Amino acid sequence: MQTTVRFPAEWEQQSTVQITFPHPDSDWREMLEDVIPCFVEIIAQISRFQKVLVICSDIHWVRAYLQNIPLENVTLVEIPSNDTWARDHGGITVTENNRLVLLDFTFNGWGNKFIADKDNLITTELVKRGVLRPHTIRSIEYILEGGALETDGKGTLLTTAECLLNPNRNPQYNKEQTEDFLKEWLGIDRVLWLHHGYLAGDDTDSHIDTLARFTDEHTIAYVRCTDASDEHYEALQKMEQELMSFKQKDGTPYKLVALPMPEACYDADNERLPATYANFLIINGAVLVPVYGVPQDGEALAVLQTCFPGRQIIGINCRLLIEQHGSLHCVTMQYPVNMV
């Protein structure tokens, strides 16, 4: 029998979302007590709609922060971690003939920028303990992060050349070989490559989930920069032109929905941080949107409500998250129905 592989879209029904909670030995150590309320709020909002899987360095320590959240939808699992970026160290789910397969790709800290030895063991450990219940788990030495992948669930993958073709990931693969690999493992039949677009302060080499996202199989929401004095202006204008050139499988253009560029946010060293509204998380019945306490927050929420008319749009202040160069989608990983 021929095997049919499919990479589900994020808007499909989910069983749980993984969060890897910050701890004193993570990169959050200098601002741990400040950032924990952001993680708690993300957990609280997800748990209103579905289950949350929280990876803890110490269950009792984490439970103390969650005492105001009803825990019937929250599962705490004690597993060591280096850091909190579940989007990139979490498993990537595909279906093979409608059976769940968890792909455990290798995470190398975005091109060996950061240590990730403990993070790399989390997915296998979750399956070993029966917390995640795929039909099969496959560990793959190829380096690949969930934040680099955006799918419509119908065989199209949207990604960036800056990340997937970066020599700090899989230098032995050229573009054609990369496409062949992705088609084999993810079951996609075409790749839409963005060659332009970046965010200052981004450690990921331009993950797609910071720049452009499918909101349904016909629509792409993307970051637009209209300020010619902004350093991102030229690159994001070119990215917009690329998006306008993309065609759906029937040959029609995508519906493009522009997200505003947040007012520039800086750290204590005056380095710009990668604030973006594209880093939203779709869950059952809602969309969680990072906001940053800037004037564009309201517009971003309103724009995304037009993309998801049947879901609640919930803003979560992620200003502190971007101090470590990621945002809301980056600290989460969803799993489809029947995974837990």
Q: Point out the residues that are catalytic.
A: 330
Q: Strands, DSSP E only, in the chain? A: 5-6, 14-20, 51-56, 74-78, 92-96, 99-106, 136-143, 150-151, 156-160, 190-194, 212-216, 219-223, 255-259, 281-283, 286-291, 312-317, 332-336
Nearest in space to 264 (alpha carbons), one of 276, 256, 252: 276
How far is residue 154 from each of residues 3, 6, 10, 186, measured CA to CA in Å? 16, 8, 12, 11
How far is residue 180 from each of residues 9, 175, 186, 251, measured CA to CA in Å? 20, 9, 10, 22
**Which are the contacts of 165, defined by CB distance < 8 A and separation ≥ 6?**
174, 175, 178
DSSP string, 46-107: HHTTSEEEEEES-HHHHHHHTTTS-GGGEEEEE---S---HHHHS-EEEEETTEEEEEEEE-
Burial class of residue 107 in the structure, from the number of CB atoms within 10 Å of its CB (0-12 exposed, 13-18 middle, 19+ buried):
buried
Q: With contact defined as beta carbons under 8 Å apart, do 249 and 237 qualify?
A: no
Q: With contact defined as beta carbons under 8 Å apart, do 48 and 288 qualify?
A: no
**Which are the contacts of 128, defined by CB distance < 8 A and separation ≥ 6?**
none
